Chain A
């Protein structure tokens, strides 16, 4: 359908990365849960901050927030989200307000793909308790 983006497979890279952090002995499992929990808690707030900074034309803040999201998303294997955030980061550093504004919907879409996967993982861990 015209205007619809291609679906991006996000679950596999996330699960692969989390398994890498967890390690073969599962010793990193508590860290995985902490990273996922922290991301689910902070990312919506950071996205809102990013949108506000973009609307206000505050490029330094937009760059800082986008840059931080690149790191945290990358840590969890949310590669598509990290890439979209890095585009916004780069545009904000170059002071390109229009590009920053144009970069926000792809960031939000990428987050919308990632969030349910992480929520699902968290639900599974809670069920295992």
Chain B
């Protein structure tokens, strides 16, 4: 089986240098190269797609390459970064290496050196990733449930190359025309890069037992997930509670299970883990915008409310926007955003 080509993001404000690096890595090296003229654009790209290596110039408009490197070390720990610069002095090399760059190349760089360095870093990075990559299943009763609850977190999983699937048990007949809603579910799953298991059970009448249970079991059997997100039991909606209970049974051998917040969550919803989704918030809103038939009709899909809710939870989770989770059990390293704090960790951070 042929491995997927390496994904590389190259940042340089000089179009000629971008062309040259793109040619070396893409045409000669067979890699998939995405280019950006500044660090802010690169950060958006990196929140949306998997990346094996970042190659960046130091001198960039706005945020410098070294500032970008520092941000990547926070948001994408372990992502290899190659710094390239035309600065002639060694101070910049020292500064870059102190900032934890994986490699430093000086312009004009030897083209074979560049190819060799990026290949080596991508290869070792993939080996590390394969060892720590998750298989994630998000289970929801209705179209849009999982995106409301963990749209940001799922986007973070996608960005780090985890395998994703979404189970949706009804086509949401109570909320609109089922054909349209099915199409919206597929669009959202496609945008997320997730496989979609879409059942057609009766909206508002989901049982805990079969066929709900067997459908979830089938998805778990095919996906073999090590992480599952599902509804909380602390929820007014009977379908949400039924899906929670069925998932708890079906997922009894899955190492990590956590419950997300729905708009119908009760005051008893008590999250004990918070994932910062600063870099994924726009992606979450884009996922929710796929549900066009609902956006106008449902107050809870108002982007302002979604954003405000995430903003509120950040008081526990750090960052500016967070998604809350009730963690049932966690036997993996559930840390896709690298900024996920437990309540205890967060409370400890208040102690001065």
Contacts and interface: CB of A to CB of B under 8 A. Distances in A.
A binds B: yes
Interface of A: 17, 20-21, 23, 27-28, 31, 34-35, 38-39, 64, 67-68, 70-72, 74-75, 77, 79, 82-83, 86, 89-90
B98 interface: no
Nearest to B20: A75
B111 A70 contact: no
27 contacts: A17-B108, A20-B111, A21-B23, A27-B28, A28-B27, A31-B23, A34-B19, A35-B20, A38-B16, A64-B59, A70-B86, A70-B107, A71-B14, A71-B16, A71-B57, A72-B14, A74-B107, A75-B16, A75-B17, A75-B107, A77-B108, A79-B108, A82-B108, A83-B88, A86-B87, A89-B88, A90-B88
Contacts of A23: 28
Nearest to B109: A74
A90 B91 CA distance: 12
Given A21-B20, A21-B23, A31-B20, A71 B88 contact: no
B2 interface: no
Contacts of A75: 16-17, 20, 107-108
Report, nearest first, the 9 A-B pairs whose CB atoms are least far apart.
A74-B108, A70-B86, A86-B88, A71-B86, A74-B107, A31-B23, A71-B107, A71-B14, A72-B16
Interface in B74-125: 86-89, 107-108, 110-111
Contacts, number: 61
Contacts of A17: 108
Interface of B: 14-17, 19-20, 23, 27-28, 57, 59, 86-89, 107-108, 110-111
B88 A74 contact: no
B27 A27 contact: yes
A72 B108 CA distance: 9
A20 B23 CA distance: 12
A36 to B, nearest CB: 10
A94 B100 CA distance: 26
Contacts of A68: 14
Contacts of B107: 70-71, 74-75
Contact of B19 (A35, A79, A86, A89): A35
Contacts of A64: 59
Nearest to B17: A71
Given A28-B23, A67-B86, A86-B86, A21 B16 contact: no
Contact of A35 (B16, B88, B89, B111): B16
Nearest to A39: B16
Nearest to B89: A90
Contacts of A34: 19
Nearest to A77: B108
Contact of A31 (B19, B86, B87): B19
Nearest to A82: B108
Contacts of A35: 16, 19-20
A2 B83 CA distance: 43
Contacts of B14: 68, 71-72
B84 to A, nearest CB: 9
A74 B87 CA distance: 12
Nearest to B13: A68
A23 B112 CA distance: 10
A17 B15 CA distance: 18
Nearest to B59: A67
